[in-house]
Homo-oligomer: A and B are copies of this chain.
Amino acid sequence: MPSFPEFKVERLTVTGSLADRVTDALIQLTKGEDFPPGSRLPSEMSMASRFGVSRTVIREAISRLKSDGLVESRQGSGVFVREGNMNTPFRIDPSIMDSIHSIQQVIELRKALEGEITALAAERRSKAQLAAIKQALKQIDTEVRDGSVGTVADITFHRRIAEATGNPHFLSLIEFLFNFIQSAMQTARGYESTRPDLAQEVKDEHLVIVDAIAKQDVEAARAAARHHMDGSSRRLDSIDPQNLSRNNSGLIFKPASPK
């Protein structure tokens, strides 16, 4: 490839905006020893002059820290570091989701959860929830018949099961994970649509899950879900990895506009 004349540019932009940099700096401070939980940060004015930026920038940075629960501001008094890190959320950095390995690590998280979720759903599901699960199962076939690969319906199916646990955190967490593995599911289901044997395999596994939930057989439900997860990752592994690696810099989702 014709290379440009060698030129090095040293950090054209050291980082993003000033607010971004100050945010990072403040996070460092709150996690360091200088400002332990409960202590008060310097005033916005003094920090502004200290960092050499305007008070506006400081306020935007503090606003982000408040959003992440790291600090708490009291008008007239100051900004205080919050106790504990109960307020800092659980995140997965999307920028590291480029490799198959990273995606499979998230899938592994889901695998760990799905067995217990299905078991709890079998134990606690109401009639209405069971009906919703069955309806979601049918919806998968409907979508597939209409030409889609059925990823949305597949996710809805598992979402309904998570709802049936009665524990809202299961639903939140599963939905959070789905955001990362959706693209993998998409390609997996796309591949399965070309392999009737695999497609039938998936349908059978789903059926066993629903049966166990219907009969409220906790252990059978757990086993069925685990079997389904194992099958999913086995089927996913059998796909040419090339299909998975074409996600550019954190943008995993495709336009997805089939017509």
List the interface of chain A (C-beta within 8 A of B): 19, 23, 37-38, 56, 59-61, 63-64, 66-69, 83-92, 94, 97, 105-106, 108-109, 111-113, 115-117, 120, 167-170, 172-173, 176, 179-180, 182, 250-253, 255-257
Q: Which residues of the other chain, B, contact A169 by a CB distance below 8 angstroms?
A: 92, 105-106, 108-109
If A64-B66, A89-B89, A109-B170 are given as contacts, then 6 extra A-B residue pairs at C-beta distance below 8 Å, sorted by A number, are: A60-B63, A84-B252, A84-B253, A88-B179, A108-B169, A112-B115
State the number of copies, please: 2
Contact B64 A108 (CB under 8 A): no
Determine which of B67, B68, B86 lies in contact with A180 in the assembled complex, contact meaning CB atoms within 8 Å: B86
Most B-side CB within 10 Å, residue of A69, A169, A179: A169
Q: Which residues of the other chain, B, contact A112 by a CB distance below 8 angstroms?
A: 112-113, 115-117, 120, 170
Contact A256 B84 (CB under 8 A): no
Whose C-beta in chain B lies nearest to the C-beta of A59? B60
